[in-house]
Amino acid sequence: FLAASRHENTIKMYKTAGEKVEFVREFKGHKSGVTALCTLCKKGRFLSAGIGSNVILWDSRFDIEEDSDDEEAGMPMEPLVILGNFTCFDRYVHHIAILDEGSFVRPTDDVDMAMVAAMAKKTALEGAASVQRAAIQREIIQCSGSFATASKNEKNVKIWSMAVADKNDTNAAKIILDHELEHTASIGALAAMKNTILTGDNMGFVHVWGRKQKTFGIQNSWTTLHKLTPWRKNARHTPDQMLEQSIQALCFLDKGTYVSGTKSGTVRVWNNLETTEVYKKSASSVKVTSRMVTDIQKLPPVKDPNTAEECMAFSASFSDGRMVSMAMYPEDPSDNEKNELVMFHVYSNSSEHKSSDAINTIAVLKGGSGIIGSPLGPVLIAGDSNGHIKTLKPKWNSLTSVSV
């Protein structure tokens, strides 16, 4: 897995060995602290953003220096680790979310269907010699994908697509701005899956955006499917109350189920949405603490050891050092009740000898079995405000109903 900090300009790769975390390598390219990090595809590409208002596209599979004398010596060029350093952002990016991992083909890759298709296309357009030349020069044949970004104090989310850069470009890949999705307030959180984007702002509103598919030559367009509000219908609220409800974290549990976290420590699960405007009463909510939600990550389904019922699950971290894992019991249509949220695992990043350090971010390694509580089950990785990385396995330790 990858880790980075706003206080350092390097990105570090680690691996887990049992309960230990071992350093693998680092990636240098940012000139200032790293503000966002996101894996793009299984072929090793990932994206990072820095305080210097740039986004870098990396290929993590090569452990080499970019500056090589091989080309001058008449030898084949070494493949680049940095595929693109994009400086087209006015302010630093604090969230990156992947919409489509796309395709990535280098001549050094193992042969797969993507490579066969890309080589055939290149041969048809440029001739058979172009494929041989690409292999000698370690040229990138294909580099596609799409992602969304949210920047500091900006009210819009930008959607980008990727492609192979022009031959005279200093980057191997390029990005193209496709769309901008506008809010009435600054964006605080962002999450995405194919054809759907979640955006949360500092007034407490979450927008669910859907993409209309391209038809008859008309470009894809995005529209608001739902607007989720933390207030009751026709309720009045003060600016301070709105600030408390500002959205700090978002997560998909599935295509129609979303989790949001606020500055005041409230976690809400939204699903079965039928109207464009969705109010507080439609969500299952829990206020875990008075401190800010810092991150939310989906867990594999969890099975209740008492009833054997399988439920969707997620973990949420907080700025007071707490991290809770919750299961969602589906609503019963017969009695018109909400989904029930229960805590089955609680972790506190503190000891008797020191105060709690905020958990700033969490990630999930699914493991071999994917079953929570099993030896090969998922592992939670938590990064705190002191730069420490901790791993733990969520277990069904207790059962506390918390939804309201």
Quote the tokens at residue 145: 């994908």
Lateral strand order in the sheet of 54-59: 34-39, 45-50, 54-59, 82-86
Q: What is the pLDDT of residue 232?
A: 82
CA–CA gap between residue 248 and residue 286 (Å, rounded): 15
With pLDDT > 90 as the criterion, what percentage of the chain qualifies?
42
Do 324 and 252 touch, CB atoms closer than 8 A? no
Kindly state the tokens that stand for 187.
């964006």
Task: Please check whether residue 210 is in contact with residue 223, taking contact to mean a CB–CB distance below 8 angstroms.
Answer: yes
pLDDT, tens digit, for every residue of 54-63?
Answer: 999 998 876 5
Amino acid sitting at position 367: G
* Residue at token pair 């420590």: 265
| The residue to which tokens 């493949």 are assigned | 79
What pLDDT score was predicted for residue 376? 60
The CA dihedral of 71, 77, 79, 82, to the nearest 10 degrees, is 30
Distance CA 249, CA 270 (A): 14
Average pLDDT value for residue range 185-189: 95
HSE-CB for 232 with a 13 A CA cutoff: 2
For the chain, what is the mean pLDDT?
83
Does residue 369 surpass a pLDDT of 60? no
Which of 242 and 317 is assigned the larger pLDDT?
A: 317
Say if residue 14 is exposed, middle or buried (CB neighbours under 10 Å; 0-12, 13-18, 19+): middle
Tell me the per-residue pLDDT of 71-123, one tens digit each, with 9 for 90 and over. Answer: 444 444 445 688 899 999 999 999 999 999 988 877 666 666 666 676 677 67
Report the alpha-carbon distance of residue 139 to residue 133 in Å, rounded: 8
User: Residue 137: pLDDT above 80?
Assistant: no
Residue 318 pLDDT > 60 = yes
Among 349, 390, 345, 399, smallest CA distance to 372 is for 345
Amino acid identity of 219? Q
Q: Between these two residues, 404 and 124, which has the higher pLDDT value?
A: 124
At residue 73, the pLDDT reads 42
CA–CA distance, 2 with 207 (Å, rounded to integer)? 29
